[in-house]
Amino acid sequence: MSKVTAKEKRQAAINAKRKPLKTVLLLLLFLVAGSVFARLVQLYWPSIKHQFTTSEALYQTSTPKLQALFSQEVEQKSVLRLGWQDLLPEQEEATLRQYQSGNAASELSPAQIGTVQSITNQLLLSIQASSDENYKSALHSTNIVQTVLGKAISISGFIVPIEVNEDRTLQSFFVVPYYGACIHFPPPPPNQIIFVQLPDGFAHHNLADAFTLTGILEQGMFEDPLGTSAYTLNVYDIKAYHGQPDDFRAH
């Protein structure tokens, strides 16, 4: 049996030291990959699920004109699926994204989240936002996107009741991107709020539940103590939605 040379011993020692390092690097790689995958699932799964699943309508209009229009739109598959960012003019979207979309947080590694540096960066961003006139203007903007007006669209969001019928069904309400808007938190910009009025009333409302509303989107200012909307929606139907409707802000 041949003797092990000093060189081979040194190489064996080096390899023995490298094994734990490789293991740690692999674990870190799996953690980062898992974090990225979880973030992607959180962001895109509700939209993907919406494309492949259907649910029974909780409300459908009794207006013959709207029924006839949507039977054609659905048949032609021309209903436009909108996200909340699609309701923002391009420049305002860029401004709001800078401060609200969570880009700074998404660029941090798991080890950096919650550190002094990350908290400092968030604080500096808040200070910058408070002095940015474009940002302050965007928070109260009634500017709308002309290209989505008059279109058959669907959008998901949460309901904020405005007017209730005697039978406790909703006669009018706001649709907002995230839970608590206008009630627990300040209202979003008017061009991130949609006003809806239903002659038939909507009985299945729950503040904590999200819904997908399909209808014809129009421009229309509606002011209420809870907030101001720049869009109105002539609703064809309402269905339950599972997930986070807001595809724009960080939550």
- Encoded tokens for 236: 């064809």
Spatial contact of 236 and 67, defined as CB atoms under 8 Å apart:
yes
The pTM of this model reads: 0.71
Instruction: Summarize the confidence of residues 191-215 as an average pLDDT.
Output: 94
Checking if the pLDDT of 226 tops 50, the result is yes
CA dihedral 64, 67, 70, 74 (to 10 degrees): -140
Count the residues in the chain. Answer: 251
DSSP class of residue 76 equals T
Checking if the pLDDT of 3 tops 90, the result is no
Burial class (CB in 10 A: 0-12, 13-18, 19+), 9: exposed
Measured between alpha carbons, how far is residue 97 from residues 47, 91, 138, 192 in Å?
Answer: 20, 10, 11, 13
pLDDT reported for residue 70 = 85
Question: In which residue are the tokens 């808040």 written?
Answer: 126
Name the packing angle between helices 90-100 and 116-130 (round to 10°). Answer: 140
Mean pLDDT of all residues belonging to the chain? 81
The DSSP result for 142-182, as a single string, is: ----GGGTT-EEEEEEEEEEEEE-TTS-EEEEEEESSTTBT
* Sign of CA pseudo-dihedral 70, 243, 33, 97: positive
Could you give the percent of the chain with pLDDT greater than 70?
A: 67
For 6-31, what is each residue's pLDDT tens digit?
666 666 665 656 666 666 667 767 66
For 17-70, what is each residue's pLDDT tens digit?
666 666 666 776 766 666 556 555 555 454 555 454 557 899 999 999 888 888
Checking if the pLDDT of 251 tops 50, the result is yes
Checking if the pLDDT of 75 tops 90, the result is no
pLDDT-based confidence at 215, cuts 50/70/90? very high
Beta strand ranges found along 11-166 (DSSP E): 59-60, 80-81, 152-164
Question: In which element (H, E) is residue 215 found?
Answer: strand 210-224
For 118-172, what is each residue's pLDDT tens digit?
566 666 666 777 777 989 999 999 999 999 999 999 999 999 999 999 999 999 9
pLDDT reported for residue 34 = 63
Residue in 38, 37, 47, 39 with CA at minimum distance from that of residue 246: 47
